[in-house]
A = this chain, B = another copy of it.
Amino acid sequence: MEERLKTKTIEDVANALGISKTTVSRSISGKGRISEITRQKVLDYIAATDYRPNPNAKGLANARTYNLAWVIPGDSELASLSFFQSCLQGVLDAAAQQDHDVLIVTVSPGNISGLKRVVENRKADGVILGQSLDKDMAVDYMKSSGLPFVVVGSTYDPEVLQVDNDHISACSELSSILKMKKPRFVTLIGGDQEIIVNTTRRQGFEAGINPVRHSVYMNCVTVEEIERAVEGALSDGADCLVCADDRICYHALNRLKRDGVRIPEDMRVASFYNSRLTEDFEPSITSLHYDPAELGARACRLLIDRIEGREVPGRTLLGYEVLLKASTR
């Protein structure tokens, strides 16, 4: 009757109940034939005494770790951090539901040693890549490793499991809506083309905006580059500005304000991505809205399905919302 500090094992449970370890194991896992009555007895006992299976022992026997690795760039922009944070929350929730935990790994361009560590040491059963670049060492490495993985975002490689927002449709739809406002000239300020989504957004933009006259400035990353693009838009005679993401939008807005450009009277402004960065801007900004947490959760579930050998779709596209606000009135 005395409680020991030593953690309980499956054997303790078996002894206490006068049955064998096998039976206990089967009750927990649900594998193998077992009478519902003994099963319930075991489950009740376990719940009452809060026995917890030792994950190492379980892992050793099953060749699993019940861990996933979540990989993000170590050098993210402030703005991307909030995306990764939401996305991570989705991953964590979904992982916890299936009794998995999440190892965090950072990579930077040219340095994927952290990822290699985890994969080579087999500390995770699968990997979620939080962002995909055009030419991505991490993706190449994961492909060669043989470990299951999924990327959040799109890849050109059709063999890679991917979960993404439907950026093409979303950007195209928002662009069409802007087109209906009969702008004279529209400028897109796009982000780093190494990041695939930026190219995708551009494609959606082109698809939706034609045949309206327009210009595109890609690879705007630094504040200077963004401001230069704004100047470009102004001298192009644009009366509508579309920003690839909220960080770009944020700096563009600051610039426009400084120049005394009125929004939306002189210039309509919209963003292909929204987040907390631009949310309390005046006037409120028309933008696309996605659900990063859902993205993470889906990626996670997909990965676990994949790990456990279930059939999974190669590509999953999630929905979006168009938020029409004062900035494009």
Contact = CB atoms under 8 A, between A and B. Distances in A.
A329 interface: no
Interface string A98-119: 0001111110000001100110
Contact of A65 (B56, B78, B81, B89): B56
B92 A82 contact: no
A235 interface: no
A103 B54 contact: no
A277 B57 contact: no
A182 interface: no
Contact of A102 (B7, B81, B82, B104): B104
A40 interface: no
Given A57-B60, A82-B78, A280-B223, A104 B123 contact: no
A280 to B, nearest CB: 7
A25 to B, nearest CB: 16
A101 to B, nearest CB: 5
A210 interface: no
A84 to B, nearest CB: 9
Interface string A179-214: 000000000000000000000000000000000000
A99 to B, nearest CB: 8
A159 interface: no
A54 B122 contact: yes
Given A60-B54, A82-B78, A280-B223, A117 B103 contact: no
Contacts of A67: 67, 103, 123
Contact of A52 (B56, B57, B120): B120
Interface in A243-290: 276-277, 280
A314 interface: no
A65 to B, nearest CB: 7
Given A7-B122, A78-B276, A101-B123, 15 more contacts: A52-B120, A54-B60, A54-B122, A55-B121, A56-B56, A56-B59, A66-B123, A74-B89, A78-B82, A92-B104, A96-B113, A101-B103, A101-B118, A101-B121, A103-B103
